[in-house]
Chains A and B, each alone.
Chain A
């Protein structure tokens, strides 16, 4: 894992001091709310329906147990005893007092954490593959590149007042576990002629106008990655639309001028800046990479697992993935208990996950964009003990990638932008399908409470969008989206439903799927084979 040196620490410490001063100026009236807003947003502090919400950055979703415990401590001391893990691999707290925010940042800084650029029209937390460093299918660990990007993007002087927020993801495998092509910039590491480099995709995103990112650069090596990205961002900063907040993301710029024109402008900019010494030396990437070398795995760890406990065996098959190292495994801890709030964890649960990481998992945890927690490096021999501890803490739901493993935004229960509630709907769906979800197989369901799409509904195999229909909450149903390597955008089935109506409609869709599926087709595969029509008929008769 990355460890701060004195330079990193001094920058994060300075940020705490800066924000403390800004809060004091706001409380004294020297700053108006309008002037304070972009400053607090750059520190992840939103004003929600009931209180301030603070979003803490978890760079590329990686944590150690000390950092995880700090997240639990903050939940306990400054919030109501829980936190909410987000689709950006961060955590947010929904009940924060403005006057406490500087103290929270000071506590985070003691464990090399911060809330820098977790909101605002700037480059947000860099996201990555939650299986990085553990997956058998990666060409390299993407996190050293993500850390290089974290440093480059932190307080970038030119790109702090962009037209709109800007999200970057880095992956290094063909299987895309990070929804890379639904980012403003998606980076896929690959090897060419023995050299590691990056393929650059630009202009993806969800929101009210979902788009899949276009390939803009076939291959760029590490020694020019930063200058190339500066060129990408500069063209956007100069020419992205600022007249309409809903048309301000880079995807709209690419859509309006075309990917070829955008690429040409970036290449012209790149030619002007590539030799100005913007790029850090390769020694910096090497320094960071050395810190991600990974743990010393036991070479003699036994590869067999005792499956005699049937409940354990179900969890093992659903939530445990193959590790690159024999005798080891990757555990995904579901934060989606049936009837619970997707992505929420109590302070006690957070502490328990930290304990497990420390005891069994080489002290590492990951947050996934699907709002679950991963222990990336555990011995197979320890899986039963881990499962037992998780079960006792209500963390052993065996539903990874099943219909109840729902991504949901906070919705109208918390968010001032939402049109409809997401959480109660997620709970109802979980309860309706709990008994038969394994029979339905992989089925990614995602709920957004408004068209801003924080719940990734466009990328759900089944997506649900909450809208306001003459003052009542109404839900539209979408089918056929995917955020993975087979990326696609869901299509609306037809007229919307009330809360119970949409759950019924999903049941009719899944019944039709079971009737239509061939061999071991996933729902998404069947949908792609037969199209929308049979499902429309099932829903609307």
Chain B
């Protein structure tokens, strides 16, 4: 999906979603709470949490929300890729201090849902997402790296 769908949640959040399934309505629990009980289906990871602790449970998780306390804190990019590399197909949401110029990289790391603290300009986002014709690296999205285009 190229452009996001804007969704207003019951909790009053505005989500930008790059998936067309229904928004998961169970509130996310912390990693500690999730590991301490077995039936939660939505988890919130703080920037310092170890995403690998979720790997044994991916089948039961519909939503992982990853927190960005400041836009400078890049740990969430690695957390997202780790989850996607392990086969997680549920909603992966970036929440917090998420800036419009960061969303293209976050998409590449596997995020398909965004809950920015401050609203992002839709026109700017559309432009940024279409800006680079192809990436240099393989990442967690479906985009084809330059070396693959060169060599098949």
- CB of B8 within 8 Å of the partner chain: no
Residue of B nearest to A281 (CB): B151
Which parts of B98-144 form the interface with A (CB within 8 Å)?
Answer: 99, 101-102, 104-106, 108-109, 121, 124, 127-128, 131-139
Beta-carbon contact of B134 and A158 below 8 Å: no
A225 to chain B, nearest CB (A): 13
Residue of A nearest to B105 (CB): A157
- CB of A22 within 8 Å of the partner chain: yes
Contact string against B for A residues 147-173, beta-carbon threshold 8 Å, 1 for contact and 0 otherwise: 000011011111111110000000000
Beta-carbon contact of A237 and B71 below 8 Å: no
Assembled-state Cα–Cα distance A18/B128 (Å):
7
Assembled-state Cα–Cα distance A30/B118 (Å):
12
Beta-carbon contact of B151 and A283 below 8 Å: yes
A13 to chain B, nearest CB (A): 9
Assembled-state Cα–Cα distance A276/B82 (Å):
12
Chain A hits for B127, CB < 8 A: 21
Which parts of B64-106 form the interface with A (CB within 8 Å)?
Answer: 71-75, 77-79, 81, 85, 99, 101-102, 104-106
Beta-carbon contact of A11 and B132 below 8 Å: yes
Known: A14-B131, A21-B127, A158-B109. A151 touches B101 (CB 8 A): no
- CB of A35 within 8 Å of the partner chain: yes
- CB of B5 within 8 Å of the partner chain: no
Beta-carbon contact of A287 and B150 below 8 Å: yes
B60 to chain A, nearest CB (A): 21
Chain B hits for A161, CB < 8 A: 71-74, 77, 102
Assembled-state Cα–Cα distance A33/B136 (Å):
29
Beta-carbon contact of B131 and A18 below 8 Å: yes
Beta-carbon contact of A14 and B133 below 8 Å: yes
- CB of A238 within 8 Å of the partner chain: yes
Contact string against A for B residues 33-76, beta-carbon threshold 8 Å, 1 for contact and 0 otherwise: 00000000000000000100000000000000000000111110
Chain B hits for A272, CB < 8 A: 85
How large, as a class, is the contact surface on chain A? 35 or more
Beta-carbon contact of B77 and A237 below 8 Å: yes
Residue of A nearest to B106 (CB): A157
Chain A hits for B72, CB < 8 A: 38, 121, 161, 242
Partner of A11, one of B99, B121, B134: B134
Chain B hits for A155, CB < 8 A: 105, 132, 135-136
Partner of B121, one of A30, A35, A152, A242: A30
Beta-carbon contact of B150 and A7 below 8 Å: yes
Chain A hits for B146, CB < 8 A: 7-8, 11, 151
Residue of B nearest to A269 (CB): B82
- CB of A326 within 8 Å of the partner chain: no
Contact string against B for A residues 274-305, beta-carbon threshold 8 Å, 1 for contact and 0 otherwise: 00111011011001000000000000000000
- CB of A273 within 8 Å of the partner chain: yes
Assembled-state Cα–Cα distance A384/B106 (Å):
56
Residue of B nearest to A21 (CB): B127
Assembled-state Cα–Cα distance A161/B98 (Å):
12
Residue of A nearest to B128 (CB): A18
Beta-carbon contact of B74 and A162 below 8 Å: yes
A26 to chain B, nearest CB (A): 11
Which parts of A217-242 form the interface with B (CB within 8 Å)?
Answer: 226, 234, 237-238, 242
Beta-carbon contact of B137 and A156 below 8 Å: yes
Chain A hits for B134, CB < 8 A: 7, 10-11
Chain B hits for A238, CB < 8 A: 50, 75, 78-79
Known: A11-B136, A237-B78. A242 touches B85 (CB 8 A): no
Assembled-state Cα–Cα distance A14/B75 (Å):
26
Beta-carbon contact of B74 and A154 below 8 Å: no
Interface contacts (Cβ under 8 Å), in number, total 105
Assembled-state Cα–Cα distance A159/B137 (Å):
12
A262 to chain B, nearest CB (A): 16
A315 to chain B, nearest CB (A): 42
- CB of B149 within 8 Å of the partner chain: yes
Partner of A280, one of B105, B121, B145: B145
Chain A hits for B78, CB < 8 A: 158, 234, 237-238
Residue of B nearest to A39 (CB): B101
Assembled-state Cα–Cα distance A157/B85 (Å):
14
Which parts of A228-270 form the interface with B (CB within 8 Å)?
Answer: 234, 237-238, 242
Residue of B nearest to A282 (CB): B151
Beta-carbon contact of A242 and B73 below 8 Å: yes
- CB of A137 within 8 Å of the partner chain: no
A281 to chain B, nearest CB (A): 5
Name which of B74, B79, B124 has the most chain A CB atoms within 10 A of its CB: B74
Chain A hits for B73, CB < 8 A: 161, 242
Assembled-state Cα–Cα distance A151/B134 (Å):
12
Residue of A nearest to B118 (CB): A35
Assembled-state Cα–Cα distance A342/B109 (Å):
42
Beta-carbon contact of A237 and B74 below 8 Å: yes
Beta-carbon contact of B71 and A151 below 8 Å: no
Beta-carbon contact of B139 and A5 below 8 Å: no
Residue of B nearest to A42 (CB): B101
Chain A hits for B81, CB < 8 A: 158, 234
Which parts of A19-76 form the interface with B (CB within 8 Å)?
Answer: 21-22, 25, 30, 35, 38-39
B-side interface residues toward A, CB under 8 Å? 50, 71-75, 77-79, 81, 85, 99, 101-102, 104-106, 108-109, 121, 124, 127-128, 131-139, 145-147, 149-151
Apart from A154-B136, A160-B77, list 16 A-B contacts with CB within 8 A.
A7-B146, A7-B149, A14-B133, A38-B71, A151-B146, A155-B132, A158-B139, A160-B105, A162-B74, A234-B78, A237-B78, A238-B75, A276-B85, A278-B138, A280-B145, A281-B151
A-B pairs with lowest CB-CB distance, top 9? A161-B74, A157-B108, A280-B147, A157-B105, A7-B146, A284-B147, A151-B136, A158-B77, A283-B151
A-B contact pairs, 12 of them (CB 8 A): A11-B133, A35-B99, A121-B74, A151-B147, A152-B137, A155-B132, A155-B135, A157-B139, A159-B77, A234-B81, A277-B138, A283-B151
A-side interface residues toward B, CB under 8 Å? 5, 7-8, 10-11, 14, 17-18, 21-22, 25, 30, 35, 38-39, 121, 151-152, 154-163, 226, 234, 237-238, 242, 272-273, 276-278, 280-281, 283-284, 287
